[in-house]
Amino acid sequence: EKEMWNREKLSLQKSLKQADAELSKLRAELKSEAFLRELGSDSENAVLRRIYGKYLRAESFRKALIYQKKYLLLLLGGFQECEEATLALIARMGGQPSYTDLEIITHHSKGFTRFRSAVRVSIAISR
């Protein structure tokens, strides 16, 4: 009979400890909910501002990458055109190339070339 009383005592003590743990957990939840209600919109606004700031930085970074990609493509296109002209000139060369040979190969007017150079300079200065 003593053993039965000891077992029952241990089980009751165990359930009492569980109830105390659950009570402290519920009290902590209640305190945190009250604290959140007290802060309310201020914390939500701060969180929203922080998230929006991260979004703006990511969007700005993405736009900068797009701009850099376009700039590099334009630059590579110009180099490719120059390389093609040089290779064509070398292929046709018998001696020293003349300025007229270069004009024939590029197929661009002097004004267009000057405009393209001005645009590249302005882009390089802005970067």
Q: Tell me the pLDDT tens digit for each residue of 39-83.
A: 566 666 777 778 888 888 888 888 888 888 887 777 777 776 777
Domain boundaries, the chain: 1-97
Residue 108 has what pLDDT?
64
Instruction: 88-91: list long-range contacts, CB under 8 Å, 24+ apart.
Output: none
Between CA 84 and CA 86 the distance in angstroms is: 5
More confident residue, 104 or 52: 52
Share of the chain above pLDDT 70, in %: 76
Between CA 57 and CA 49 the distance in angstroms is: 12
Instruction: Answer whether residue 118 shows pLDDT above 60.
Output: yes
What is the pTM assigned to this prediction? 0.34
Q: If we measure between CA atoms, which residue out of 67, 106, 69 comes closest to residue 86?
A: 106
